[in-house]
Amino acid sequence: MSHAPLQNDTFLRACLRQSTDHTPVWLMRQAGRYLPEYCATRARAGSFMGLATNVDYATEVTLQPLERYALDAAILFSDILTVPDAMGLGLSFAQGEGPKFEKTVRTEADVATLAVPDMDKLRYVFDAVTSIRKALNGRVPLIGFSGSPWTLACYMVEGGGSDDYRAVKSLMYSRPDLMHRILAINADSVATYLNAQIEAGAQAVMVFDSWGGVLADGKFQEFSLAYTRRVLAQLKREHDGVTIPRIVFTKGGGLWLDDMKDLDCEALGLDWTVNLAKARAAVGDSKALQGNIDPNVLFAPPEAIDREVAAVLASFGQPHQGAGTGPTHIFNLGHGISQYTPPENVKVLVDAVHTHSKRIRAQG
Amino acid sequence: MSHAPLQNDTFLRACLRQSTDHTPVWLMRQAGRYLPEYCATRARAGSFMGLATNVDYATEVTLQPLERYALDAAILFSDILTVPDAMGLGLSFAQGEGPKFEKTVRTEADVATLAVPDMDKLRYVFDAVTSIRKALNGRVPLIGFSGSPWTLACYMVEGGGSDDYRAVKSLMYSRPDLMHRILAINADSVATYLNAQIEAGAQAVMVFDSWGGVLADGKFQEFSLAYTRRVLAQLKREHDGVTIPRIVFTKGGGLWLDDMKDLDCEALGLDWTVNLAKARAAVGDSKALQGNIDPNVLFAPPEAIDREVAAVLASFGQPHQGAGTGPTHIFNLGHGISQYTPPENVKVLVDAVHTHSKRIRAQG
């Protein structure tokens, strides 16, 4: 399939550590409940899964934030938990609550029945990718994504969100063999899933290790990072002759940058606890860095948002300029945008990233 | 007042970086809901605050875990939120829920009415300290504590727990002047409160910065650490000619050890995400380290608990031995013990700390 030529390649260039005339910006969960037009579409769809599984709705909401803001990338509208749903665990979202699975995976018997799901059950995701890519018409690149093997396992074992991760950690400490089995299946499923998104038109992919940061030192490396590595090893490097950048984001993973700097990926996502100058020094010249403003900055007045954006950009410092490759920064939040965010403040943030990052470049 | 001589000074010696024949151990929230005898006392008291404000009950529950386990320290049974309660915010604990304040502090007018509370309103705490110290009769030392200025501010602004800290961070980003005013009052209140606990008999004090880790890099230093420093600067160094060690614990603060290593305190608490060997290298020879096993280890079988305890001790490595001072370790959880913990597993953990830490010392 041939696609329209890309008009704004700033995000992809920054992923590949090539120079850009401004720092690209997109926001985790940028198509979401803080936008009234999203809420209207969701109301028509009836439920979150009704929205995510309908190609037209998924396309519509993915493009909504691009109409309001000068974002440099689009991200597939979907959920990180589509893969365990396709494994038969029965995902649902009650109104105003987090995700819930009908079945949990806690026993040897539960684990024995797990397998890489038939990708036909995830056809709605790949169809949405193709539809969105077409609707974007080359405006900005499209990012595909999945939860990390460990993060999927958290939900599969807990059956939903958790504030102490008691079930999943009990299993990990008591039966590490079962946990490794779950994670291996998850890793192979995630790799297959992301490759299919790439085939369908995703121009970059991101692995969300949302719950890697709840693990103890040592356990993170063994139960999360090792399986992210297993995913990365299986991912397509390019599609149609174009490199597909891979981004890994571990929320709360700032302490383990030393372990992550050798990951076979192009960019690392960082949350707001991380100092970008220190991260740049720790990671060296091997990865683009993505992040990391506190999403709560968006509740402040415009002048405060502008000031905090400038501070994050200054903390990264001067990005690579000119030919070749070097340190680059992709601006993002350190976590998904809050549903309570005033939409007009997002415009202030996005515009501030563009203005200040051009000014920093001009200062050489 | 004269007190019985201390029979087990392992904890205090380790705080002062002096050698001990084993690694001392105590557990955050060691007197708590996982113990049936605690639940029985709480039922008699009628409510959490009924328990905390009654000297006899507070004494009884503080000593309960010492009857079961060979713990090397006792910690005052109280709550981190007694200070804002004494400021008039009206603390309550609904059954099965977290703390709630009747009043919140969000506006300029709210902040204008805040002041360091009359310590007479906290008399019940100081009376409990004296009563517990007497009941301990020199068995182990007694630790007093408070929430940090920032952590108290989180609850005061949010009015209770939070999962996004939206209210407190909105205030911080929008009106940093008001936030600084709250934090200055909190710091002076906490210092006065801890000094009164020391006068009443506390032999060490700990500042719980439970929510420091939710702050962005830069904001942690400005809004949490600076005010912990303000507390420490006002604390008594000794009482009755004996040094009173001061411990600072920032949950999620592992990335900022570099900023914390120069704090004017004797020990730093660490959560389970921190590698103790790296922390020891980062902090150098200036502080004892306290922590940091994942509380969820206590849901595993005895052999797994034993193995994980040994791994945490090995990660710290050989502590200082002989005369003078050097690196020391105080074993603890990386966070409060879960209410669902099987009490028999706590015995396995405490005994494993003693056994393995003696073995490590014997290996020289």
Residue A216 sits at the chain B interface (C-beta within 8 Å): yes
pLDDT tens, residue by residue, A120-167: 999 999 999 999 999 999 999 999 999 999 999 999 999 999 989 999
Q: Give the separation between CA A62 and CA A138, rounded to whole angstroms.
A: 14
Residue A98: pLDDT band by 50, 70, 90 thresholds?
confident
Question: pLDDT tens per residue, chain B (364 residues)?
Answer: 578 999 999 999 999 999 999 999 999 999 999 999 999 999 999 988 899 999 999 999 999 999 999 999 999 999 999 999 999 999 988 777 789 999 999 999 999 999 999 999 999 999 999 999 999 999 999 999 999 999 999 999 999 999 899 999 999 999 999 999 999 999 999 999 999 999 999 999 999 999 999 999 999 999 999 999 999 999 999 999 999 999 999 999 999 999 999 999 999 999 999 999 999 999 987 899 999 999 999 999 999 999 999 999 999 999 999 999 999 999 999 999 999 999 999 999 999 999 999 999 998 7
Contact yes or no for B140/B66 (Cβ under 8 A): yes
Q: What is the pLDDT of residue A192?
A: 98
Chain A hits for B282, CB-CB cut-off 8 Å, are none
Which residue in B234, B81, B59 sits closest to B129, CA to CA?
A: B59
- Tokens 């579409």 -> residue: A41
Distances in Å between the Cα of A172 and the Cα atoms of A19, A178, A181, A213, B25 are 43, 8, 11, 15, 24
Evaluate the CA torsion angle B189, B195, B200, B204 in order and state its sign.
Answer: positive
Share of chain A above pLDDT 70, in %: 100
How many Cβ atoms are within 10 Å of B301's Cβ, its own excluded? 13
Q: What is the pLDDT of residue A230?
A: 98
Give buried/exposed letters for B195-215 (b at 16+ CB in 10 A, else e). bbbbebbbbbbbbbbbbbbbb
> In which element (H, E) is residue B268 found?
strand B267-269
Q: Which two tokens stand for residue A185?
A: 């299946």
Which residue in B116, B114, B80, B113 sits closest to B99, CA to CA?
A: B80
Angle at B127 between CA B126 and CA B133, to 5 degrees: 90
Residue A1: pLDDT band by 50, 70, 90 thresholds?
low
Residue B337 sits at the chain A interface (C-beta within 8 Å): no
Question: What's this model's pTM, rounded to 2 decimal places?
Answer: 0.97
List, in order, residues 6 or more apart from B171 with CB less than 8 Å away. Answer: B106, B157, B178, B179
CATH 1.20.1440.230 fits B10-362, yes or no: no
Contact yes or no for B216/B232 (Cβ under 8 A): no
Contact yes or no for A119/A192 (Cβ under 8 A): yes
For A174, the 3-state DSSP assignment is: helix
Cβ-defined contact of A272 to B301 (cutoff 8 Å): no
Q: Give the separation between CA B54 and CA B127, rounded to whole angstroms.
A: 9
- For chain A positions 218-237, those within 8 Å of chain B (CB to CB) are 218-220
Q: Residue A285 pLDDT more than 80?
A: no
Phi, psi of A265 (to 5 degrees): -145, 170
List, in order, residues 6 or more apart from A252 with CB less than 8 Å away. Answer: A212, A213, A214, A271, A273, B252, B273
Residue B342 sits at the chain A interface (C-beta within 8 Å): no
Distance from CA of B175 to the nearest CA of A (A): 9
Phi, psi of A77 (to 5 degrees): -80, 115
ipTM over 0.85: yes
